[in-house]
A and B are shown apart, each in its own frame.
Chain A
Amino acid sequence: GDSVTQMEGPVTLSEEAFLTINCTYTATGYPSLFWYVQYPGEGLQLLLKATKADDKGSNKGFEATYRKETTSFHLEKGSVQVSDSAVYFCALSDPGGGSYIPTFGRGTSLIVHP
Protein backbone atom coordinates (compact mmCIF):
# COMPACT_ATOMS: atom_id res chain seq x y z
CA GLY A 1 0.00 0.00 0.00
CA ASP A 2 0.88 3.68 -0.06
CA SER A 3 3.18 5.05 2.61
CA VAL A 4 5.05 8.21 3.56
CA THR A 5 8.33 8.34 5.48
CA GLN A 6 9.65 11.57 6.90
CA MET A 7 12.60 12.38 9.08
CA GLU A 8 12.11 12.11 12.79
CA GLY A 9 12.35 15.16 14.96
CA PRO A 10 12.52 17.29 16.74
CA VAL A 11 14.50 19.53 14.47
CA THR A 12 15.96 22.40 16.47
CA LEU A 13 17.29 25.47 14.67
CA SER A 14 18.27 29.02 15.37
CA GLU A 15 16.35 31.84 13.74
CA GLU A 16 17.45 32.52 10.12
CA ALA A 17 18.92 29.02 9.69
CA PHE A 18 18.20 26.89 6.63
CA LEU A 19 15.60 24.16 7.01
CA THR A 20 15.27 20.81 5.26
CA ILE A 21 12.76 18.16 6.27
CA ASN A 22 13.09 14.99 4.21
CA CYS A 23 10.08 13.09 2.90
CA THR A 24 9.95 10.00 0.70
CA TYR A 25 6.94 8.03 -0.43
CA THR A 26 5.75 4.81 -1.99
CA ALA A 27 2.57 4.70 -4.05
CA THR A 28 0.90 2.31 -6.46
CA GLY A 29 -0.39 5.08 -8.73
CA TYR A 30 0.68 8.63 -9.53
CA PRO A 31 0.05 10.51 -6.29
CA SER A 32 -0.43 14.14 -5.43
CA LEU A 33 1.93 15.29 -2.67
CA PHE A 34 1.31 17.69 0.19
CA TRP A 35 2.91 19.33 3.18
CA TYR A 36 0.63 20.23 6.08
CA VAL A 37 1.52 22.29 9.15
CA GLN A 38 0.07 22.00 12.64
CA TYR A 39 0.57 24.88 15.05
CA PRO A 40 0.19 24.15 18.79
CA GLY A 41 -3.39 23.41 19.79
CA GLU A 42 -4.70 23.59 16.25
CA GLY A 43 -5.70 21.28 13.43
CA LEU A 44 -3.64 20.64 10.32
CA GLN A 45 -3.67 23.14 7.48
CA LEU A 46 -2.29 22.83 4.00
CA LEU A 47 1.12 24.46 3.54
CA LEU A 48 1.85 23.55 -0.08
CA LYS A 49 1.15 20.91 -2.70
CA ALA A 50 2.34 19.46 -6.02
CA THR A 51 0.34 17.25 -8.34
CA LYS A 52 2.85 16.12 -10.97
CA ALA A 53 6.53 15.38 -11.40
CA ASP A 54 8.90 18.38 -11.25
CA ASP A 55 6.17 20.66 -9.91
CA LYS A 56 7.37 22.99 -7.16
CA GLY A 57 4.92 23.91 -4.43
CA SER A 58 5.61 27.06 -2.44
CA ASN A 59 4.00 29.11 0.32
CA LYS A 60 5.19 31.42 3.14
CA GLY A 61 8.83 30.96 2.04
CA PHE A 62 8.62 27.16 2.13
CA GLU A 63 9.24 25.11 -1.02
CA ALA A 64 9.11 21.46 -2.04
CA THR A 65 9.72 19.85 -5.43
CA TYR A 66 7.99 16.66 -6.61
CA ARG A 67 10.82 14.30 -7.57
CA LYS A 68 9.37 11.20 -9.17
CA GLU A 69 12.76 9.61 -9.89
CA THR A 70 13.70 9.63 -6.21
CA THR A 71 10.10 9.44 -4.87
CA SER A 72 10.79 12.43 -2.68
CA PHE A 73 9.16 15.72 -1.67
CA HIS A 74 11.59 17.43 0.71
CA LEU A 75 10.49 20.63 2.46
CA GLU A 76 12.92 23.56 2.51
CA LYS A 77 13.02 27.12 3.79
CA GLY A 78 15.95 29.46 3.44
CA SER A 79 15.54 31.38 6.69
CA VAL A 80 13.30 30.11 9.45
CA GLN A 81 11.54 32.27 12.01
CA VAL A 82 10.39 31.55 15.56
CA SER A 83 6.83 31.63 14.24
CA ASP A 84 7.61 28.60 12.03
CA SER A 85 7.80 26.40 15.13
CA ALA A 86 5.19 23.72 14.49
CA VAL A 87 4.75 20.10 13.43
CA TYR A 88 5.06 19.42 9.70
CA PHE A 89 3.39 16.47 8.00
CA CYS A 90 4.17 15.11 4.56
CA ALA A 91 1.21 13.42 2.87
CA LEU A 92 0.05 11.89 -0.37
CA SER A 93 -3.20 11.03 -2.03
CA ASP A 94 -3.38 8.52 -4.82
CA PRO A 95 -6.80 8.44 -6.49
CA GLY A 96 -5.40 6.52 -9.45
CA GLY A 97 -4.24 3.85 -7.06
CA GLY A 98 -7.63 3.81 -5.31
CA SER A 99 -6.60 5.93 -2.32
CA TYR A 100 -8.89 8.96 -2.03
CA ILE A 101 -8.06 9.64 1.61
CA PRO A 102 -4.66 11.21 2.37
CA THR A 103 -1.88 9.08 3.81
CA PHE A 104 0.32 10.94 6.28
CA GLY A 105 3.84 10.62 7.55
CA ARG A 106 4.46 10.66 11.29
CA GLY A 107 5.19 14.36 11.44
CA THR A 108 8.36 16.30 12.20
CA SER A 109 8.44 18.81 15.04
CA LEU A 110 10.37 22.00 14.28
CA ILE A 111 11.58 24.20 17.12
CA VAL A 112 13.12 27.55 16.21
CA HIS A 113 15.04 29.48 18.87
CA PRO A 114 15.56 33.27 18.75
Chain B
Amino acid sequence: NAGVTQTPKFQVLKTGQSMTLQCAQDMNHEYMSWYRQDPGMGLRLIHYSVGAGITDQGEVPNGYNVSRSTTEDFPLRLLSAAPSQTSVYFCASSYIGQGRNTEAFFGQGTRLTVV
Protein backbone atom coordinates (compact mmCIF):
# COMPACT_ATOMS: atom_id res chain seq x y z
CA ASN B 1 0.00 0.00 0.00
CA ALA B 2 2.11 2.90 -1.31
CA GLY B 3 -0.20 5.82 -0.42
CA VAL B 4 1.15 9.09 -1.86
CA THR B 5 4.48 8.87 -3.68
CA GLN B 6 6.54 11.93 -4.57
CA THR B 7 9.62 12.03 -6.75
CA PRO B 8 12.33 13.18 -6.61
CA LYS B 9 13.15 13.54 -2.90
CA PHE B 10 15.87 16.11 -3.54
CA GLN B 11 16.58 18.40 -6.49
CA VAL B 12 18.94 21.26 -7.25
CA LEU B 13 18.05 23.53 -10.15
CA LYS B 14 19.70 26.50 -11.75
CA THR B 15 17.73 29.72 -12.09
CA GLY B 16 15.62 29.61 -15.24
CA GLN B 17 15.50 25.83 -15.54
CA SER B 18 12.19 24.01 -15.64
CA MET B 19 11.23 20.74 -14.03
CA THR B 20 8.29 18.60 -12.99
CA LEU B 21 7.68 17.27 -9.50
CA GLN B 22 5.79 14.01 -9.67
CA CYS B 23 2.99 12.93 -7.36
CA ALA B 24 1.00 9.71 -7.54
CA GLN B 25 -1.58 8.16 -5.20
CA ASP B 26 -3.07 4.69 -5.27
CA MET B 27 -6.06 5.27 -2.98
CA ASN B 28 -8.51 6.51 -5.64
CA HIS B 29 -8.87 9.84 -3.83
CA GLU B 30 -10.78 12.59 -5.61
CA TYR B 31 -8.84 15.51 -4.17
CA MET B 32 -5.16 16.24 -4.61
CA SER B 33 -3.13 19.28 -3.66
CA TRP B 34 0.35 20.74 -3.65
CA TYR B 35 1.79 22.74 -0.76
CA ARG B 36 5.08 24.43 -0.14
CA GLN B 37 6.58 24.61 3.33
CA ASP B 38 8.89 27.44 4.27
CA PRO B 39 10.30 28.27 7.72
CA GLY B 40 7.80 30.26 9.76
CA MET B 41 5.17 30.14 6.99
CA GLY B 42 3.56 26.80 7.62
CA LEU B 43 2.00 25.05 4.63
CA ARG B 44 0.84 27.22 1.76
CA LEU B 45 -1.45 25.83 -0.91
CA ILE B 46 -0.12 26.15 -4.47
CA HIS B 47 -2.69 24.34 -6.63
CA TYR B 48 -5.35 21.74 -6.05
CA SER B 49 -7.65 19.42 -7.95
CA VAL B 50 -11.11 18.08 -7.09
CA GLY B 51 -11.04 15.43 -9.80
CA ALA B 52 -9.50 14.39 -13.10
CA GLY B 53 -9.54 17.31 -15.54
CA ILE B 54 -10.30 19.91 -12.84
CA THR B 55 -7.66 22.11 -11.24
CA ASP B 56 -7.67 25.42 -9.42
CA GLN B 57 -5.27 27.89 -7.89
CA GLY B 58 -4.41 28.07 -4.24
CA GLU B 59 -2.75 30.78 -2.21
CA VAL B 60 0.61 30.94 -4.04
CA PRO B 61 0.16 29.70 -7.64
CA ASN B 62 2.52 32.03 -9.52
CA GLY B 63 5.36 30.25 -11.28
CA TYR B 64 3.71 26.83 -11.10
CA ASN B 65 1.44 24.82 -13.40
CA VAL B 66 -0.52 21.64 -12.76
CA SER B 67 -2.64 19.21 -14.69
CA ARG B 68 -4.76 16.21 -13.67
CA SER B 69 -5.25 13.85 -16.58
CA THR B 70 -5.84 10.82 -14.34
CA THR B 71 -7.18 10.29 -10.82
CA GLU B 72 -3.80 8.92 -9.73
CA ASP B 73 -1.34 11.56 -10.92
CA PHE B 74 -0.96 15.26 -10.16
CA PRO B 75 2.37 16.66 -11.39
CA LEU B 76 3.60 20.13 -10.47
CA ARG B 77 5.60 22.02 -13.10
CA LEU B 78 8.03 24.81 -12.38
CA LEU B 79 8.15 26.86 -15.56
CA SER B 80 11.30 28.91 -14.94
CA ALA B 81 12.84 28.25 -11.54
CA ALA B 82 13.69 31.18 -9.27
CA PRO B 83 15.58 31.23 -5.95
CA SER B 84 12.28 32.20 -4.25
CA GLN B 85 10.99 28.74 -5.14
CA THR B 86 13.56 27.08 -2.91
CA SER B 87 11.34 25.18 -0.52
CA VAL B 88 10.04 21.80 0.55
CA TYR B 89 7.08 20.69 -1.54
CA PHE B 90 4.40 18.32 -0.34
CA CYS B 91 1.70 16.58 -2.31
CA ALA B 92 -1.43 15.40 -0.54
CA SER B 93 -4.59 13.51 -1.40
CA SER B 94 -7.90 13.43 0.41
CA TYR B 95 -11.47 12.23 0.06
CA ILE B 96 -14.89 12.76 1.58
CA GLY B 97 -15.86 9.69 3.51
CA GLN B 98 -18.63 8.96 5.93
CA GLY B 99 -19.16 11.57 8.61
CA ARG B 100 -17.54 14.27 6.47
CA ASN B 101 -14.13 12.77 7.12
CA THR B 102 -11.67 14.46 4.79
CA GLU B 103 -8.36 13.26 6.19
CA ALA B 104 -5.38 14.15 4.02
CA PHE B 105 -2.53 11.78 3.20
CA PHE B 106 0.86 13.29 2.47
CA GLY B 107 3.87 12.29 0.47
CA GLN B 108 7.37 12.42 1.96
CA GLY B 109 8.19 15.73 0.31
CA THR B 110 10.60 17.08 -2.31
CA ARG B 111 13.36 19.37 -1.09
CA LEU B 112 14.09 21.80 -3.93
CA THR B 113 17.00 24.22 -4.04
CA VAL B 114 17.27 26.81 -6.80
CA VAL B 115 20.71 28.36 -7.21
Contacts and interface: CB of A to CB of B under 8 A. Distances in A.
Contacts, number: 69
Interface stretch (A19-27, A68-76, A103-111): A103-111
B94 A100 contact: yes
B108 A104 contact: no
A100 B31 contact: yes
Contact of B103 (A46, A89, A105): A46
B99 interface: yes
Interface in A70-109: 89, 91, 93, 95-96, 100-107
B100 A43 contact: no
Interface residues on A, range: 20 to 34
B76 interface: no
Given A101-B31, A105-B42, 16 more contacts: A30-B100, A32-B102, A43-B4, A44-B90, A44-B104, A51-B100, A52-B99, A93-B104, A96-B100, A100-B102, A101-B33, A101-B94, A102-B92, A104-B35, A106-B40, A107-B42
B41 to A, nearest CB: 7
Interface string A38-62: 0000111110010110000000000
